[in-house]
Structure 1
Amino acid sequence: MPIFICEDNDIQRNAIEEYIQNYLMIEELDMEIKLSTNNPYEILSYLEKKSISNGIYFLDVDLQCDIDGIKLGGQIRNKDIGGKIIFITTHSEMMYFTFKYKVEAMDYILKDDMQDLQKRIIEALEQASTHYQEDKNNPEERLKIKVGSKIRVFPMKDVMFIETSHVPHKLVLHLDQSTVEFYGKINDLESISNSLLRTHKSIILNVENVSALNRKNYEVTMANGEVCPIAMRKFSTLNKRLGSK
């Protein structure tokens, strides 16, 4: 698991590095500090050049830069969906903005007490390692789509179907209990998962969530009770897919 540190105070950045290095050496965890910097753009440049997943990011909030740690966290979230973001700061009042920018931070550590800071950093590393192992042992397919300026991730088990919207160039994702509109092309989506099947010119459905077929009306009932049409020529294809489950 790659670790990134962004802290504008050299003394504090060096302390954070030391806490992490000492802990990794003792515990022999499969982690490594890839980049430690005072420049948030170095982090973003690194992520642009390399495909990083499940990174661990220790970010100061006030970086004395035109981009603060929370906005940096938001951009990191778009590039590393599974990344673990930990804010380290003296500004507890800024916690609200982590929700505003949909950063989904794993922890928010205050710098008030350096001994407590070391303890909290170690706890964050332990938690990140635990989450990573759980994800490896229980792989769950997810659907990633861009909604506005954010990348959102949905468990495939919650996805019912995707249909074209009456708004040009927009699609509607039907989930178990809600819907989400986003811009996209339906032709680009069928190939992103083996669970998805194009059953109509305007619909791609999740085969795993089909609960019933109605041959008379050429309709499909999904696990959440929603009903959507199916093209006549696609009926036998879907029937075969369901029979092989």
Structure 2
Amino acid sequence: MLDIFVLEEDYFQQARLEDAIHKSKQIYILRIGKVNLYDKPNQLLERITERGSHLLFFLDIGSDSDIERGILVAQQIRERDPYASIVFITAHPELLPSTFQYRLAALDFIDKNLPDNEYEDRIISDIGLALSKNGLSQIECAFTVDTKNATIQVPFHKILYFETSPTVHKVILHTTEEQIEFYGQ
């Protein structure tokens, strides 16, 4: 199931993108989960609780003076999650070359000035691509656990140790970078 996050401050553009996403839900029946809409970067970043190829982000890049907003959000997402898909959306196609210098591995760069049918086709196509790569990014040499909310993957070389908890089925995974708590079955 693909969860979608949208960062767009213009409510007209947000509604346009939401319409295209809902049309894709009709095509990819039962394969799209939550659609989360935000107009402020900090709101979006605070709501990201999972990692994995099942996450798709549509991020608005404003004008040349505001390019940092979308790029900084994408950098923070990429630091947390190398497997999520990121699509930049902007009314300033001249900013496309600037996005490459940040090496964020974006799935697409969509011009808001496209006619509605082309715009929707690009959104639907990007959702289809994200769905097709969902689950393909599993690391072969990794510990993988599926919980009801997320798939957790940690390369074996980063695992320090596992700890059990007095709470039934709770396991704490200690890695070189973080501590991850999850509930087994």
Is TM > 0.5 for Structure 1 vs Structure 2?
A: yes
For 1:59-70, list aligned pairs within 5 A: 59-62=59-62, 67-70=68-71
SS at 1:4 equivalent: strand
Distance 1:62 1:141 in 2: 40
Q: In the alignment, which of 159, 176, 184 is matched to residue 192 of structure 1?
A: 159
Contact 2:21 2:124 in 1 (8 A): yes
Provide closer, same or farther for how the CA distance between residues 191 and 93 of structure 1 changes in structure 2, counting only shifts above 3 A.
closer
- Residues of 1 paired with 2:82 and 2:70: CA distance? 17
Q: Which amino acid aligns with 1:24?
A: K
Please, what is the CA RMSD of the aligned residues? Answer: 2.8
Distance 1:190 1:135 in 2: 17
Instruction: Return the alpha-carbon distance in structure 1 between the equivalents of residues 6 and 158 of structure 2.
Output: 36
| Structure 2 length-normalised TM | 0.68
Instruction: State whether residues 40 and 67 of structure 1, in contact with CA within 8 Å, keep that contact through their aligned partners in structure 2.
Output: no
Q: CA deviation at 1:70?
A: 1.6
> 1:199 aligns to what?
none
CA distance in 2, matches of 1:59, 1:83: 13
> Superposition pairs for residues 146-157 of structure 1, below 5 Å?
none
Partner of 1:46: 47
Give the % identical residues.
26
Q: Specify the code of the residue in structure 2 equivalent to 1:88.
A: I
The residue correspondences of 1:93-242 to structure 2 (distance < 5 A) are 93-113=94-114, 114-135=116-137, 139-141=139-141, 190=157, 192=159
Distance change (3 Å), C-alpha of 1:20 and 1:84: same
Residue 67 of structure 1 and its aligned partner are, at CA, apart by 4.7
Amino acid at match of 2:17: I
**Contact 1:71-1:101 within 8 A present in 2 as well:** no
Shift of 1:22: 2.3
How many correspondences in the alignment? 146
Residues 205-244 of structure 1: CA deviation (Å, up to 9, x unaligned): xxxxxxxxxxxxxxxxxxxxxxxxxxxxxxxxxxxxxxxx
Question: Residue 90 of structure 1 corresponds to which residue in structure 2?
Answer: 91
**Unaligned regions of 5+ residues in structure 2, if any?**
143-154, 161-185
CA shift at 1:59, angstroms?
0.8
Q: What is the CA–CA distance in structure 2 between the aligned matches of 1:97 and 1:134, rounded to whole Å?
A: 29
Structure 1 residue 111 displacement after superposition: 1.2
The structure with more radius of gyration: 1
In the alignment, the residues of structure 1 paired with residue 9 and residue 24 of structure 2 have an alpha-carbon distance, to the nearest angstrom, of 22
Contact 2:58 2:86 in 1 (8 A): yes
Deviation >4 Å, runs of 4+: 63-67
AA matched with 1:126: G
Structure 2 counterpart SS, 1:135: coil
Aligned residue number for residue 56 of structure 1: 56
Runs of 5+ unmatched residues, structure 1: 143-155, 157-188, 194-245
Cα pair distance change 1:103/1:191, threshold 3 Å: closer
